Structure 1
Amino acid sequence: MRDALARRDVSEIYKQLRRRGVSQRQIAASTGQSQSEVSEILKGRQVMAYDVLARIADGLGIPRGYMGLAYDGATAMRVASATNALEAEEDESVKRRKFLSHAAQVTMGAAVFGEATSWLPANAQTPAPARIGMTDVQQIQAATKALRDLDYRYGGGTCRDAVVAQLSWAQQLLDSTSTDLVRKQLFVALADMHSLAGWTSFDVGLLDPARGHFGKALEFAKQADDHGLLASVLYRMGRVYLHHQEPNEALKLFQLGQIAAQESGSALTVAVLCANEAWAYGMLNKPDQVQKMVGRTKDEFARAQASEAPDWVRFFNENDLHGMIGSAHDALAVFDPKKHASIAVAETIKCNEAYGADMQRTHVFGLSLQATNHFRAGDVQEGIKVGRRALQHGERVKSARVADRLKPLELEAAKHRANSDARDLFDEVRQFRQS
């Protein structure tokens, strides 16, 4: 216990109290915390605020010195405030002079006010409020939505750093006090933002950070008891493995997601998981399973009410339904092009005709898949035409996945290099993928 006190490891202190028979309710009553706060600390939430640590020490009858708290918080604040104020006054005057000199040097091209100095702006994070309400959570959700729109439109490279920066600030709110309802919604918002951070990391080729963010997203979604969000995160992580040609691993994640999707009660969520399972079975060359999952996808999609579905899954409309069916048959066409390439073409044409400027990345993927299967079906000229459109759209998207998704088109164009236009397309795709 003394080691835990010295480290100010409140989680371990509470765990040892629980092992000695002290209930969460008793701990909460002694420390002036809610039972939910005690529960979160037992699950690993850190306590950093001086006044909270002091209140815990006093409430549990622990000498403050054991936790390195030599005197009360008010005294500590007065001493720190007086010291910091004097240092800040001196530092601020130096900073003002330096900035004035820097501004003059930039504006006039010479040091006007004193000697030339280098200016290094200080970085600081916006402080989190002591108490938060639903408005604070809604601001996180609005930021996530705006950044997700950028990702859909132009790729993860346009917004990943902004997502990570927002997340860094948003997680500070875990140390703020709030009602139980607000805290639950905060978990939902953080899970969704971590999921977006994972997706954009994956989109720019950062696999390990993607896994880390998806892992945190799962934890927050579980704390919020949000089955739909759990299904979303598992679906996205499965897509990571599909992209890296690991259909068995992807299928396991989709099947886990399917369990959560069923618990969520959202037919559209179930449809998304079924569609992705079909794609994974296609990569495993299991046409019977593909047919079964495609049928179930259509059934679930037909009975879904998009207006009642969670925000994350509303992207899955009729265009995406055709696109996913096309993806499953594209995967099967690798093994049996005569049977499946023409189906893949027909399905992807339906979705590609409907994509607008807000879905640039998805449009590139759909066009490259369509072009690839035109080649497989023997329609070389149409493959060349559609392939060039894919390249044109690809130049507008900042996504490492675009180059990877164009690889099958490069391989198919290479088989027809006797055709000068096909040879030119092969060279253009290869150059794009290497740039």
Structure 2
Amino acid sequence: MTEAAWGNGELARAVNRTGTETGQRLKYDASAVSHWLGGTSPSAKALPVVLETLARRLKRPITAFEAGFREMPTPADQSTDTVSGLVDLGSLDMDPSRRGVLTAGLYSVALTIPGWPDVVGRFARLRTDPHLRIGVAEVQAVVAMTERISDLDDQFGGRMARPMAASFLVNTIVPYLRADASENVRKAMLSAAADHCYLTGYMAVDERHDSLAQRYYTKALELAGHADDHLTYCTTLRGMSVQAVDLGHGSAALRLAEAASSASPQAGPRMRAFLAGQQAHALAQTGDRAGALHHLRTAEVAMEQAESKGKAFGSYDPATLSYHIAQVSYELGDREGAIRALRHSATIRPAVYRRGRMRHRSMLAEWQLEAGRLEEAVQNWHLALDDYPTIQSGRADDRFRSMLSATRPHRRNPHVRGLLDRARPMAGGQGRARTVREAMT
């Protein structure tokens, strides 16, 4: 608390704010913190919230022992074996009755990231299954399945596709990782598994299960290192940076983007463009205008040099570059420039990316409303609602709720009322339906 420069009341209020991310309505006050200082401990459910609150303030991991809630350090509650950890993670994710526990964790801004020198080429030799040998065909099957799941995710959202990905991870990929194989095939399978974990983490982000996403991302980093796969390692770090900046953790996003850039000295132009664009967004969010504009220009130059075709997922294209330009412009206070760039991104984005189209149209509408362009905003929200019923996505739900909140002060406007009339049948659950009714009254 001294290092954080927090008094009892400040810590209590910060813990209560962090607790809302897990759905906990904590009501701690200064007296509760006095009890902690006197030797009591928060409840088992609240303790991780307290530790994460301190970690966010101090920008490093904080253990229960370091915070004074334990008399001695305890071993980490996770498997040290990469493949066993995948089984534990995927099996929990497959079980609907246990998924709530898995997804209730907090996003950690001080997560320890395994560095490239720590993971590269260090895959422990496993006891292989003498009854199963894999070759190139099995690797190709995993790659193809991951691409198909990625296509479904793009069209319908992570909530629909992720259970399939978790099941495929446990039932097919893990046995392949334990099978007998040549060295080249084994590395190729590790690389394919890393891609699959990265995609599964990305879909967890889409559901707003951010702590779970971090666990999948960390496994992807480990697998990519074991496979000597620099591309997937850097792609995963970049994805973790995107997650951080979307959650408003600019410093953590910058740290992750810079780690990705440092680990990819021989990256191709498309990867360099994405890394520079992501660094620009993170720098803009932290208020570094000059750095943001410099990296944005670097991204534009690299994009001009990029090849015309990238990977099935995780690739960077002109539409995403325009999105980065929009985000940087918005963070730096240029709302009109942000609107122009986001509108341009929408015109060149491939039609298959339905979820991204819905989210970005909603974002464009929000920015237009902030600029006083109500009717244009309503038009774009109508376009967003064209896609919304077909998408199972927590991030899309966030944009839907933002629409309801942003339009509430304008509910007497006939254009807004028509929009809300259309939104009512899409509300789904009782909570969201109630929110629509409240927005209209």
Structure 1 length as normaliser, TM-score?
A: 0.65
Q: Deviations over 1:67-110 (max 9, x none)?
A: xxxxxxxxxxxxxxxxxxxxxxxxxxxxxxxxxxxxxxxxxxxx
Q: Could you list the structure 1 runs, at least 4 aligned residues long, displaced by more than 6 angstroms after superposition.
A: 39-42, 426-431
Displacement after TM superposition at 1:409 (Å): 4.3
Alignment match, 2:283: 281
The 1:40/1:373 distance shift into structure 2, 3 A limit, reads closer
Displacement after TM superposition at 1:207 (Å): 2.5
Alignment match, 1:386: 380
Structure with more relative contact order (C-alpha pairs < 8 Å, separation 6 or more): 2
SS in 1 for 2:263: helix
Q: Deviations over 1:186-240 (max 9, x none)?
A: 1100100111111112212322322221111100101111111111111111222
Displacement after TM superposition at 1:178 (Å): 1.1
Aligned counterparts of 1:426 and 1:352: Cα–Cα separation in 2: 23
Aligned counterparts of 1:262 and 1:310: Cα–Cα separation in 2: 19
Alignment match, 1:317: 317
Q: Is the 8 A contact 1:152 1:361 kept in 2?
A: yes
Alignment match, 1:359: 353
Q: Is the 8 A contact 2:122 2:226 kept in 1?
A: no
1:327 and 2:314 correspond: no
Aligned counterparts of 1:343 and 1:43: Cα–Cα separation in 2: 48
The 1:42/1:353 distance shift into structure 2, 3 A limit, reads closer
Alignment match, 1:304: 306
- Of stretches 352-361 and 420-429 in structure 1, the one that deviates more from structure 2 is 420-429
Structure 1 unmatched ranges of 5 or more = 1-9, 11-38, 52-128
The higher radius of gyration belongs to 1
Aligned counterparts of 1:42 and 1:224: Cα–Cα separation in 2: 9
Alignment match, 1:137: 139
The 1:404/1:218 distance shift into structure 2, 3 A limit, reads same
Please point out which of 123, 127, 134 is paired with 1:47. 127
The 1:251/1:424 distance shift into structure 2, 3 A limit, reads farther
SS in 1 for 2:382: helix
1:10-409 aligned at under 5 Å gives the runs 43-47=123-127, 130-168=132-170, 169-263=172-266, 265-307=267-309, 309-314=310-315, 316-332=316-332, 336=333, 340-406=334-400, 408-409=402-403
SS in 2 for 1:358: coil
1:408-419 aligned at under 5 Å gives the runs 408-417=402-411, 419=413
Higher helix content, 1 or 2: 1
The 1:407/1:45 distance shift into structure 2, 3 A limit, reads farther
| Counterpart AA for 2:161 | C
Structure 2 length as normaliser, TM-score?
A: 0.64
Displacement after TM superposition at 1:301 (Å): 0.6
Q: Is the 8 A contact 1:241 1:247 kept in 2?
A: yes
Displacement after TM superposition at 1:363 (Å): 0.2
- Of stretches 317-326 and 284-293 in structure 1, the one that deviates more from structure 2 is 284-293
| Aligned CA-pair RMSD | 2.9
Aligned counterparts of 1:235 and 1:429: Cα–Cα separation in 2: 34
Alignment match, 2:432: 434
Aligned counterparts of 1:434 and 1:257: Cα–Cα separation in 2: 38
